[in-house]
Amino acid sequence: MDGIVWVVQTTLPGEWLEPQVGEWAFELVESGLAACVQRDSIQSTYRWEGNVEVSDEWRIQIKTSQSKVQELSSVISQKHPYDTPQILAWKADSSTDFTSWVEG
C-alpha cells in the first residue's frame, strides 16, 4: 500500500428514511468533497444531557482526500441535523490506484 486516503465518519438520525440518507450522501459526492459515501444502519448507546440513550442511527463513512477534509468537516457541521454531530477523521493506507481515484 503506497497511498493514503482520509475516512470521515458521522451519524445521522435513525428515523431518516433511506432515500433521505441517500440524498444527503449524494450531495457530498456531487459537490466533489467526497469520492465515496457508504451508509449502514446501526444502534448507538451514548450519554446525552445526563441520560444514557439508545437509538437507531445511520453510520456514514466518507472517503476523501487530505485537501478536502477540512471543508468536508465544515459542510457536515453546517448541514447536520444534530446539535453536536459526531465527526471523526483518520488517515487510511490504501492502494495507489484507489488513492488516485479518491483524489480525482
Q: What is the pLDDT of residues 34-66, one digit of tens each?
A: 999 999 999 999 999 999 999 999 999 999 999
The residues with which 91 forms a beta bridge, in sequence order, are 6
Domain boundaries, the chain: 3-103
Distance of CA 53 to the CA centre of its chain: 22
Burial class of residue 49 in the structure, from the number of CB atoms within 10 Å of its CB (0-12 exposed, 13-18 middle, 19+ buried) = exposed
Neighbouring residues of 91: CB distance < 8 A, sequence distance ≥ 6: 4, 5, 6, 7, 66
Please report how many Cα atoms fall inside a 13 Å half-sphere around the Cα of residue 3, on the Cβ side. Answer: 16
Rounded CA Rg of the chain: 14
pLDDT at 1 over 90: no
User: What average pLDDT does range 65-72 have in this prediction?
Assistant: 97
Position 47 scores a pLDDT of 95
CATH dotted code for 3-103: 3.30.70.120
104, 99, 101: which is closest to 6 by C-alpha?
A: 99
pLDDT tens digits, 84-94? 999 999 999 99
Please report how many Cα atoms fall inside a 13 Å half-sphere around the Cα of residue 47, on the Cβ side. Answer: 1
The rounded distance, in Å, linking the Cα atoms of 83 and 101 is: 33
* Mean pLDDT for all residues in the chain: 97
pLDDT at 75 over 90: yes
What global pTM score does this model have? 0.94
